[in-house]
């Protein structure tokens, strides 16, 4: 599962990639700011900690089926708009 964030006026950026078989890969994003788990193939939450106005934006997840010989297209959910006042 992939979790993305799109802040106003910016392009979409990958926050984290999660898999049932591996630790989450946060890339350039902070584990202190975000947490993600993937106990089941069908679902996995993303948590944003210490919310600030700068966290306001659109958060989206996408899933794709992968195996050694085949990678399927990613399918995006509708997203969640987060507004921090």
For the segment 26-82, what is each residue's pLDDT rounded down to a tens digit?
A: 999 999 999 998 877 777 899 999 999 999 999 999 887 766 666 777 888 899 999
Which residue, chain included where needed, has tokens 């679902």?
A: 43
Q: Which CATH class name applies to 2-82?
A: mainly beta
For the record, the structure tokens of 66 come out as: 């992968």
pLDDT of residue 83: 96
Domain extents in the chain: 2-82
Of the CA atoms within 13 Å of residue 35, those in its CB half-sphere come to: 6
DSSP annotation of 8 = T
pLDDT of residue 37: 87
pLDDT of residue 46: 93
């Amino acid at each position: 599962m992939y979790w993305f964030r799109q802040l106003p006026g910016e392009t979409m950026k990958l926050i984290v990639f999660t898999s049932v078989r591996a630790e989450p890969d946060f890339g350039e994003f902070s584990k202190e700011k975000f947490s993600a788990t993937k106990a089941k193939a069908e679902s996995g939450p993303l948590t944003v900690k210490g919310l600030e106005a700068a966290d306001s934006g659109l958060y989206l997840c996408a899933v794709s089926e992968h195996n050694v010989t085949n990678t399927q297209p990613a399918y995006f959910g509708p997203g969640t708009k987060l507004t921090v006042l």
